[in-house]
Amino acid sequence: MYGQRTRAKYIMVAAFDGWNDAGQSATNVIRHLVSKFHALEVGHISRDGYYDYQTARPMQCVIQGTRRILWPQTAFYDITINESLHILAQLGPEPNYQWMEYCKESLHFARQYDVDSIITLGSMFAECPHTRPLPMDMSIGGEQTDPDNEYNGPIGIPHVLDVAAIEEGYETKAIWVSLPQYFGSDPCPQATLQLLETLSDIIGVRLDPKEIAERAEQWRAHCDIMVRSNADLAQYVDQLEHDADMRQHAKDIASSGTPAVEQLVQEAEAYLRDQQI
């Protein structure tokens, strides 16, 4: 009908505090979106049965002179990216119990907003150097885009939500970034930046990364200083750089055809011989 506005498209993006959120890299993507775009909190999941309060402890705060207790809960935000695109963002601590019921409640919000697709974000520690692009993994509809990165092992709530969403017929993507374990649990803006940039590529909109990019540059400079001041750490990072370069070299050769693969085998054998000397 003439004059009728087309309904905005909704994409759901979810990130969870805890085991799935090394360096707060995934949840900081949501916090960035909430702070940079028009965002309204539109709902939450807060049932007692989901959390062990000795693990996810309630917080005490004073608001306008009144003491309040804030209990662990998941919040949903309606974030206006532009007139035609909204993000329904899910942010909260990973639940301790009843994961399937929790995912059902999460997907209830997705249905309310007629979500087209669901994207989960995660970050994990790994043996990778800060001097190279941090390793990224992605699955689409539960299938890894890089078969060499197929994961077997413990999983968290993003994986379970991804599976539940697929079973409900949603298109899904899971984006993970790995960050250096040698810098501990401090925030890693480089990892947040790479998640944000990948999310931007998926939805086709640049998500205002300037502030995070500046913090990422400062983070890399700080890491360089720490490495230069510790000889053992410098040696370890040097080995990680070599391993990362070898993996990238192997991918480049493998993608160029069979003769190149033979070259890769010869180089790998030479490398192993050198390691034995």
Say if residue 198's pLDDT is above 90. yes
Residue 255 sits at φ, ψ, to 5 deg, of -80, -10
| Span between the terminal Cα atoms of the chain, in Å | 77
Burial class, 246, CB count within 10 angstroms (exposed 0-12 / middle 13-18 / buried 19+): middle
Positive or negative, the Cα torsion across 49, 51, 57, 60? negative
The pLDDT value recorded for residue 145 is 86
Give residue 107's pLDDT band: very low, low, confident or very high (50, 70, 90).
very high
Alpha carbon 115 to its chain centroid, in Å, reads 20
Which residues does 260 contact at the CB level (< 8 Å), separation at least 6?
A: 253, 254
User: Angle at which helices 210-228 and 189-203 pack, to 10 degrees?
Assistant: 150
Mean of pLDDT over the chain:
89
Residue 21 is classified by DSSP as: B
Q: Which residues contact 161 (CB under 8 A, 6 or more apart)?
A: 14, 103, 106, 107, 118, 120
User: Is 90 exceeded by the pLDDT of residue 266?
Assistant: no
Percent above pLDDT 70 for the chain: 89
Average pLDDT over residues 59-74: 86
| pLDDT on residue 1 | 41
Q: Tens of pLDDT along 133-159?
A: 999 999 999 998 887 777 788 899 999
Structure tokens at 152: 């077997």
**Is 9-209 CATH 3.40.50.10900?**
yes
Strand 9-17 and strand 117-126: the pairing is parallel
What is the tens place of the pLDDT at every residue in 153-180?
889 999 999 999 999 999 999 999 999 9
CB 213 within 8 A of CB 223: no
Q: Which amino acid is at 148?
A: D
Q: DSSP assignment, residue 149? A: G
- What is the pLDDT, as a whole number, of residue 53? 86
pLDDT value of residue 26: 98
Domain residue spans of the chain: 9-209, 230-276
45-49, 67-71, 156-160 — most confident range = 156-160
